Structure 1
Amino acid sequence: MKKMSGFTLIELVVVIAVLAILSAVAFPKFAEISDEAHRSAVEGAGGSFTSSVSLVRAQWLANGTRTAITDLPGYGEPDNVIDVSVDGWPTGVNGNTNPSGMTAAECNALWGALMNTNGLTTSTAVGEDYLTTVNSGDCRYTYQATVDGHNVEYDPNTGTVYTDIQP
């Protein structure tokens, strides 16, 4: 007579039940961690954008010229692609120095020039990391990886960057 080894049916059912209970408890924790990671990604992008805007204004102040400038000297070398308003805030890359003249395409190009990264992509059409729109004259970059509506908003009149994290 051969001796059988392995799990009995009851042992198998108990293991499956324990795994089901553990996964039911652990899944909400993993979902919460994922949500927090998305919120942190938007906060990080907002912080980077704020720093970039501040650096452009600092360069404008250091240059000593208190006028609107296309292709700000000393920033974005060798290309000098950033245009600034009469108040020194970034307003575009295509010769736009009027903060009231911002379009979604101009906001999109500004993000690319200020962020200078391939890691965070923007577009005026759905499909990239951030969807670029204009909201009451402000550039709005809405995070697309979730449907929560997290966004970074830039006011080219004041240089203020808002990071809006939805609950």
Structure 2
Amino acid sequence: MTSIMATKKQQGFSLIELVIVIVILGILAATAIPRFLNVTDDAEDASVDGVSGGIATAVSFVRSQWEVDGRNNNSVVLDGTNISLDRRFGFPTGLTSGSNVVSATAMTNASCQEVFANILQNAPRNVLVTQDARNQRYTARVVTGAGGNGVTIDGTTVNNLDLCVYHQVSSLTLDQASGIPTPAPDLATAGAKGVLYNPGTGQVLSFTN
């Protein structure tokens, strides 16, 4: 008895089909990969804009409370915290303890951090620009006299206002050993992202360099 072996015809992709598939994959990669690479940048920008909006809202709350209090106080109570302000302008300048009230022309790294950490509800993790920024979200520093001029409530122009700068840590270069931003970031640091706050005008702006 003769057994008949059924043979199956082996089929695969032709060279033309493989080329077409490779071309399609190349087109998809060229379109999609740049989008994936930009996801991180977009998320960082959105985070900066969110923090900027939060600070602007909180600053307006402080100013509104100061107005309600009659424009005479050098501090207001915000969510149970005494917030210092320059009574010439009415915008937050840090924390107040007794007579220790900060002027918009005498800000420090610490007072800028106090504004950031205390007027925001659930403020992002932050440190001074001179401290270890690993595992932090923002650094705080002051740029003395960089805020231009502002007009007080009695119409007097004050020059050389200070400027608080909050840099997003993920946009900075940190020293591998100390975790301190190196070099110390300023307004012109390439690639840096963050938020500017002027305690003499109340203006809040996000930036990307």
Question: Which TM-score bucket, shorter chain as reference?
Answer: 0.7 to 0.9
Q: For 1:101 and 1:138, locate their aligned partners in 2 and report how far apart those are by CA, in whole Å.
A: 10
Letter in 2 for 1:90: P
Residues of 2 paired with 1:98 and 1:109: CA distance? Answer: 11
The residue aligned with 1:41 is: 47
User: Which is worse superposed, 130-139 or 48-57?
Assistant: 130-139
Indicate whether 1:154 and 2:157 are aligned.
no
Match of 1:76 in 2: 79
8 Å CA contact 1:93–1:109 kept in 2: the answer is yes
CA distance in 1 between counterparts of 2:126 and 2:22 reads 45
Match of 2:140 in 1: 132
Partner of 1:165: 208
More helix by share: 1
After superposition, residues 12-91 of structure 1 pair within 5 angstroms as 22-69=28-75, 72-73=76-77, 75-77=78-80, 80-87=81-88, 88-91=90-93
CA distance in 2 between partners of 1:91 and 1:97 (Å): 8
Amino acid at match of 2:125: T
Superposition misfits of 4+ residues, deviation over 3 angstroms: 1-4, 10-25
Match of 2:120 in 1: 115
- Relative distance call for 1:68 and 1:94 in structure 2 (3 A) is closer
2:181 alignment partner in structure 1: none
Runs of 5+ consecutive residues of structure 2 not aligned to the other structure: 1-6, 145-161, 173-190
Query: Under a length normalisation based on structure 1, what TM-score does the superposition of the two structures give?
Result: 0.77
8 Å Cα contact 1:152-1:162 kept in structure 2: yes
Would the aligned equivalents of 1:76 and 1:82 in 2 still touch at CA under 8 Å? no
- In the TM superposition, residue 13 of structure 1 has moved relative to its aligned partner by 10
- The aligned residue for residue 148 of structure 2 is none
TM-score, normalisation: structure 2: 0.64
Please, which runs of 5 or more residues in structure 1 have no aligned partner? none
8 Å CA contact 2:71–2:87 kept in 1: the answer is no
Cα offset, 1:97, TM superposition: 2.5
Q: Does 1:101 align with 2:106?
A: yes
In the alignment, the residues of structure 2 paired with residue 114 and residue 3 of structure 1 have an alpha-carbon distance, to the nearest angstrom, of: 75
Q: 2:92 corresponds to which letter in structure 1?
A: P
Asked if the contact 1:94–1:106 (Cα under 8 Å) also holds between the matched residues in 2, the reply is: no
The 1-side partners of 2:116 and 2:199 are apart by 12
CA contact (8 A) 1:90 1:156 kept: yes
Question: Structure 2 CA distance, aligned partners of 1:146 and 1:2?
Answer: 61
Deviations 1:86-134 (A, max 9, x none): 131101114343322211122112211111215x111112221111111
Judged with a 3 Å threshold, the aligned counterparts in structure 2 of structure 1 residues 16 and 105 are, in CA distance, closer, same or farther, namely farther
Taking only aligned residues, the RMSD between alpha carbons, in angstroms, comes to 2.6
User: Percent identity of the aligned residues?
Assistant: 29
- What CA deviation, in whole Å up to 9, does each residue of 1:2-56 have, x standing for no partner? 999xx89x89999788656644442211112321221111111111101100100
Asked which structure has the greater CA Rg, the reply is 2
Contact 2:66–2:73 (8 Å) recurs in 1: no
Q: Within 2, Cα distance between the matches of 1:92 and 1:64?
A: 20
Q: What secondary structure does 2:79 align onto? A: coil
